[in-house]
Chain A
Amino acid sequence: MSKSNFTRRGLLKTSAVAGGATLAAPQFFSPSWADGHAGYLNAPQGDTVTLGFNVPQSGPYADEGADELRAYELAVEHLNGGGDAGMMNTFSSKALTGNGVLGKKVAYVTGDTQTKPDAARASAKSMIEKDGAVMITGGSSSGVAVAVQALCQEAGIIFMAGLTHSNDTTGKDKKANGFRHFFNSYMSGAALAPILGANYGKDRKAYHLTADYNWGYTTEEAVRTSTEAMGWETVAAVKTPLTQTDFSSYIAPVLQSGADVLVLNHYGGNMVNSLTNAVQFGLRDKQVNGKNFEIIVPLYSRLMAKGAGANVKGIFGSTNWHWSLTDEGSKAFVKSFGEKYGFPPSQAAHTCYVQTMLYADAAERAGTFNPCGIAEALEGFEFDGMGNGPTLYRAEDHQCFKDVLVVKGKENPTSEFDLLEIVEVTPAAQVTYDASIFGGELGTCNPGA
Chain B
Amino acid sequence: MFGLSAKDTRLFFIVTGLVAFAPFLMNPFPTGSAMAQFNAGYPDLMQRFVIFGIFAIGFNLLFGLTGYLSFGHAAFLGAGSYAAVWMLKLLTINVIPAILISTVVAGAFALLIGFISLRRSGIYFSILTLAFAQMAFALAASVLTPITGGETGLQTALNDPRILDGIASSGGNIPAPALFGLEMRNSYVWNVSGWTFTFNAGYYLAGAFMIVAFYLSMRIFRSPFGLMLQAIKTNQTRLNYTGLNSRPYTLAVFVISGMYAGLAGGLMASMDPLAGAERMQWTASGEVVLMTILGGAGTLIGPVLGAGFIKYFENIFSKINSNVLHEWFAFMPDGMEDFIVTILYPFVGKGWHLTLGIMFMMVVIFLPGGLVEGGQRIANLFRRKKSQPSEADGAKTPAE
Question: Taking beta carbons and an 8 Å cutoff, which residues of A are in contact with B?
Answer: 1-3, 5-8, 10-11, 14-15, 17-19, 22-23, 25, 28-32, 57-58, 62, 65-66, 69, 73, 108-112, 116-119, 121-123, 125-126, 129-130, 142-143, 146-147, 150-151, 153-155, 168, 173, 176, 212-215, 239, 241-243, 441, 443-444, 446
| Chain A residue, CB-CB nearest to B276 | A117
* Across the A-B interface, the 9 shortest Cβ-Cβ residue pairs: A444-B172, A57-B350, A213-B151, A125-B44, A212-B142, A112-B318, A130-B42, A129-B42, A443-B172
B222 interface residue, CB < 8 Å from A?
A: no
Partner of B314, one of A5, A119, A147, A168: A119
Task: Say yes or no: A142 contacts B188, CB within 8 Å.
Answer: no
Question: 8 Å CB contacts to A: which residues of B155-205?
Answer: 155, 158-159, 171-174, 176, 181-183, 185-192, 196, 198-199, 201, 204
Cα distance A409–B44 when bound, in Å?
A: 45
Inter-chain CA distance A29–B153, complex, in Å, is: 39
Complex alpha-carbon distance, A130 and B187, angstroms: 13
Band of interface residues on B: 35 or more
B contact residues around A66 at 8 Å (CB) = 350
**Counting CB contacts under 8 A, is B338 at the interface?**
no
B181-A18 in contact (CB<8A): yes
Question: Least Cβ distance of B371 to chain A in Å?
Answer: 22
CB distance from B183 to the nearest CB of A (A): 5
Nearest-neighbour CB distance to chain A for B83, whole angstroms, equals 17
Task: Check B45 for interface membership: any CB of A closer than 8 A.
Answer: yes
- Cβ B186 vs Cβ A10 within 8 A: yes
In the assembled complex, how far is the CB of residue B144 from the closest CB belonging to chain A, in whole angstroms? 11
Chain A residues within an 8 Å CB radius of B323 = 73, 108, 110
What is the chain A residue whose CB lies nearest that of B268?
Answer: A118
What 0/1 pattern do residues 38 to 56 of B give for CB contact below 8 A with A? 0100111100100000000
> In the bound complex, what is the Cα–Cα distance between A169 and B272 (angstroms)?
19
Please give the distance in Å from B21's CB to the nearest CB on chain A: 14
Q: List 11 A-B contacts (CB under 8 A).
A: A10-B186, A14-B183, A17-B181, A28-B192, A29-B190, A58-B318, A112-B352, A123-B318, A153-B173, A213-B152, A241-B142
Residues from chain B with a CB closer than 8 A to the CB of A25 are 188, 190
Q: Does A8 contact B278, Cβ atoms closer than 8 Å?
A: no
Most buried by B among A8, A19, A168: A8
Is the pair A11, B278 in contact by a Cβ cutoff of 8 Å? no
Q: Is the CB of A116 within 8 A of B191?
A: no
Asked if B158 contacts A441 (CB within 8 A), the reply is yes
Q: Which residues of A contact B219 (CB under 8 A)?
A: none
Contacts of A119 in B (CB 8 A): 314
Q: Inside 8 A of B189's CB, which chain A residues have their CB? A: 5-7, 31-32
Pairwise interchain contact A19-B315, C-beta atoms closer than 8 A: no
Closest chain A CB from B277 CB (angstroms)? 9
Q: Are B318 and A111 interface neighbours, CB within 8 A?
A: yes
- Across the interface, which residues of B come within 8 angstroms of A57, CB to CB? 318, 349-350
Q: Once the chains bind, are B152 and A173 in contact (CB under 8 Å)?
A: yes
User: In the assembled complex, how far is the CB of residue B355 from the closest CB belonging to chain A, in whole angstroms?
Assistant: 12
CB-defined contacts of B171 to chain A, threshold 8 Å = 444
User: Given A119-B314, A212-B141, A242-B151, does the pair A109, B319 have CB atoms closer than 8 Å?
Assistant: yes
| B367 adjacent to chain A (CB < 8 Å) | no
A11, A111, A126: the one within 8 Å of B186 (CB): A11
A126 touches B315 (CB 8 A): yes
Are B188's CB and A14's CB within 8 A? yes
Interface of B is mostly: mixed
B145 at interface (Cβ–Cβ under 8 A)? Answer: yes
CA distance A19 to B86 in the complex (A): 29
Q: Tell me the complex Cα distance, A268–B285, Å.
A: 25
In the bound assembly, the distance between CA atoms of A58 and B350 in angstroms comes to: 6
Complex Cα distance A241/B274, Å?
Answer: 22
Most B-side CB within 10 Å, residue of A7, A25, A73, A125 = A125
Contacts A14-B183, A14-B201: A123 and B319 contacting too (C-beta < 8 A)?
yes
In this assembly, does B333 line the interface, its C-beta being within 8 Å of a C-beta of chain A? no
Tell me, in angstroms, the Cα distance from A146 to B189 when the chains sit together.
29
Chain A residues with Cβ below 8 Å from B176 are 10, 154
Query: Smallest Cβ distance from A34 to chain B, in angstroms?
Result: 10
- B272 near A213: Cβ-Cβ < 8 Å: no
Q: Chain B nearest CB: distance from A15 CB in Å?
A: 7
B188 touches A19 (CB 8 A): yes
Taking CB atoms, residues of chain A closer than 8 Å to B278 are: 116-118
What residues of A have a CB within 8 angstroms of the CB of B198 in the complex? Answer: 129
Residue in B43, B152, B158, B318 whose beta carbon sits within 8 Å of that of A146 in the complex: B152
Q: Evaluate contact between B319 and A111: CB separation under 8 angstroms.
A: yes
Contact for B187 among A8, A17, A143, A239, CB less than 8 A: A8
Which residues of chain B come closer than 8 Å to A142, judged between CB atoms? 152
CB-nearest residue of chain B to A19: B188
Least CB separation from B178: chain A residue: A10
Contact with A along B314-357 (1 / 0, CB 8 A): 11001101010001000000000000000000000110110000
Output the nearest chain A residue to B43 by Cβ-Cβ distance: A129
* Measured CA separation A110–B31 after assembly (Å): 18
